Amino acid sequence: MIKSLGYGFIVVQSITEYKNMPEISVIIPVYNGEKTIQETIESVLHQTYTSFEILVINGGSADSTLDIVSHIGDRRIKLFNYPQANVAVNRNRGLTNASGEFITFLDADDIWTKDKLELQYKALQESPEATVAYSWTNAIDQTGKFLRVCSHAQWEGNVYAKFLLDDFIGNGSNVMVRSFAFQEVGNFNETLTNAEDTEMWIRLAARYNFVPVEKVQVFYRISPNSKSSHLSGLEISNLKVIELAFTNADPSLQYLKPHRIANLYKYLIYKALTVSPSNQNNSQVMRFLWQSILNDPSMIQKPIIYKAILKFLVMNLLPEKIAVSLLQRFPRLFDMSTFFGYMKTNLV
């Protein structure tokens, strides 16, 4: 049945279920997610580990998201309806309502492999000194087609310095955390509209050990409407996170700051040069290129910078049809994913 609760409603089957506390709480924030929410939830329902609850935190969706979720019909789903807010707020709403000993998050357009919960739970059980488990991630497009490798990190134990240099988790749909940790480090930073997950992982890394599951278990969906495609917001929020992180970092680690900023701009260049020519923001690309070189002067000696400049000129000086034809004809020449190979991650 559906029972009214506070701002919204929650799907409840019986009082007895609340006595059988799930081991894991899966928090799924969603806003207008009708195109992907069912596939996302089904990737949780098909997990090999079954002691979980799914907390769908709907932030004022105006499409058919609520109908889709409420008709899935699994007793482990709890559906909360709140006014519209950013992802950080909705994740915090999920934390308030979670009852599991372990917490994990899943964005409403991402999907998991069926053993994600099982292997991360096992990793934490076998590593009692660790508080956070994470897996490998690959990126997919709107249709679910593979785009690229995202993060296949293997760092474990004290990873704080690694995190100052680079967010090797790579997305908000990855980690599993012992729930007590949020009571100690606090909630997600609600002033951030992007990179709120990175900021949280840094705070966790400052206090707790991490353990990897060396297997692709997270498929991170990239689309024109995803947060990671809004580059100005991504830049502003990440720079704020970097400032916060290094304000609190030990003086011995301050040398990592320009490298972290350079890594950010290498990623932003990649993102800026993977749009269609008609969506190219010229001043933005030029600024990203300059900031990358300014913070990592060695980039001026790397071929990828000149490939990026060539692609930028092709996209801006030639008619769009000709530019697209050239980009498709010489994919290796114009492949910007090489930027990821120049992200400095081994300085600590």
pLDDT digits (tens, 9 = 90+) for 168-214: 998 999 999 999 999 999 999 999 999 999 999 999 999 999 999 99
Q: Is residue 348 part of a domain?
A: no
Residues 218 and 265 in one domain: no
Q: What is the pLDDT of residue 12?
A: 43
Give the residue numbers spanning the domain of 329: 250-342
User: Mean pLDDT for the chain?
Assistant: 92
**Which of these three, 166, 193, 228, is where a domain ends?**
228
Q: How many domains does the chain have?
A: 2
Q: Is residue 165 part of a domain?
A: yes
Residues 204 and 324 in one domain: no
- pLDDT, tens digit, for every residue of 84-104? 999 999 999 999 999 999 999
Q: What is the pLDDT of residue 8?
A: 45
Residues 100 and 145 in one domain: yes
Residues 49 and 106 in one domain: yes
Q: Is residue 175 part of a domain?
A: yes
Residues 187 and 41 in one domain: yes
Residues 198 and 265 in one domain: no
Residues 70 and 157 in one domain: yes
Closest CA to 132 of 190, 195, 200, 187: 200
- pLDDT, tens digit, for every residue of 291-304? 999 999 999 999 99
Residues 171 and 296 in one domain: no
Residues 218 and 85 in one domain: yes
Q: What is the pLDDT of residue 204?
A: 98
Residues 212 and 294 in one domain: no
Q: Is residue 245 part of a domain?
A: no
Please determine, for residue 3, whether its predicted confidence score (pLDDT) is greater than 60: no
Residues 329 and 274 in one domain: yes
Amino acid identity of 250?
D
Residues 224 and 271 in one domain: no
CATH number at residue 6: 3.90.550.10
b (16+ CB within 10 A) / e for 77-92: bbbbbbeebbbbbbbb
